[in-house]
Chains A and B, each alone.
Chain A
C-alpha cells in the first residue's frame, strides 16, 4: 500500500498478531503503535508489525490523534527498506527466532558470571513462558535488539526453546476438595443433619451445653 505518493494523513491500521497502527502526516510515518514493541521508536514498531502475522491493512483517515513523539518522522520508503533489512538480519542468524511464538528458558549450566549485563537480564526473566516480545517488554528494550540477542544466545547455547509443558503449565490440582457436600457429610459423623448439612444437638446425647437445658 503506497501512502507516500498520496501524502496520506491518517492511520494505516494493520490487523494481525501483533498488528499495529502507522500514523502518517503528509505521507511521512510519525509514529507506530504496536503491541509487539515496548518503545516508542518508529523503526522498532514497524519491525514488530512486519515480523508478525499480517491479516489486513486499511487506511483510517478519521484517526487524527498521533501519539506524541520526539521523532520528526521517517519517510515511508526509508522505513520500508530498514524494516526489510532487519527481517533479513533476523533470517540470516544461526537460530532464526519467531519473536511471538518461541518461548525461551536458560540452558542448564549457564553461568551468570560469563554473561554480559544485558544477557544476565534476559536469562533472569527467561522463565520458559515468555517470548522474545514478552522479554522485550520486561526489560524495556526494543523488540529488534532483544530478538537478535536471544537468537544469538540460543545459537551460543545460553538459552534454549522451552518445552510445551514449561510454556503452558496447566494445573487443576486434582480438585479433591470439590466433592459433593452430601458425600462429605456422610463420611464426617453422626451429628450432621443430611437435609441442612449443619451440626445439630439431639436430646440425650452429650454436648458442650448439655447440662444447661
Chain B
C-alpha cells in the first residue's frame, strides 16, 4: 500500500505496477476508436501514472484538470442524488475530453479530436476501465 498526498490510497506500490499491462489496455482505445488522440492515467488527486500523449500535451496539466473536473462532477452527482459518478465528457468545438472514474482512487483521461466516435468510445471504454481498475488494485 502507498500513501499519496496525505490521503490513504490503497493502490499497489507504484514501482510494482504492471505498466506494460496498463499500456496494452489503454492502447486499445486509440487503436479501436477513431478520433482518440491522447490518453492519461492518473491518481484521483491529479498525479499522472501513465501517459500516451503528443509532444504538445502536458500529462501533469491534463491530470490536474481531470482530477478537478471529476471531483466537482462527483460532488454534483452525490448532492443531486445521481448515484455513483462514472464519467464526464467535455464537448468542445474542436474536440473532446472524456474523464472516467476508476473507483474513487484513479481516473483515465481520453482526449479526442472533433471527429471522435463518441458512441464507440463509450462502448469500448467500459471493459478497459474494468481491467485497468483490476490491474491498479488487484
Contacts and interface: CB of A to CB of B under 8 A. Distances in A.
B30 A175 contact: no
A68 interface: no
Contact of A17 (B26, B32, B51): B32
Interface stretch (A87-95, A152-160, A177-185): A177-185
Interface residues of A, number: 28
Contact of A178 (B14, B55, B114): B14
B23 A133 contact: no
Contacts of A19: 34, 117, 120
Interface string A177-213: 0101110000000000000000000000000000000
Interface string B1-30: 011101000000111010100010011001
A17 B120 contact: yes
Contacts of B35: 35, 134, 137
B67 interface: no
A34 to B, nearest CB: 8
A178 B19 contact: no
B49 interface: yes
A171 B50 contact: yes
A171 B58 CA distance: 12
Contact of A36 (B17, B47, B115): B115
Interface string B34-51: 110100000000011111
B116 A170 contact: no
Nearest to B56: A127
A178 B48 CA distance: 10
10 contacts: A15-B120, A18-B117, A19-B120, A35-B115, A127-B54, A134-B37, A137-B115, A168-B23, A171-B51, A175-B14
Interface of B: 2-4, 6, 13-15, 17, 19, 23, 26-27, 30-35, 37, 47-55, 59, 113-117, 120
Interface of A: 15, 17-19, 35-38, 52, 100-101, 127, 129, 133-134, 137-138, 168-173, 175, 178, 180-182
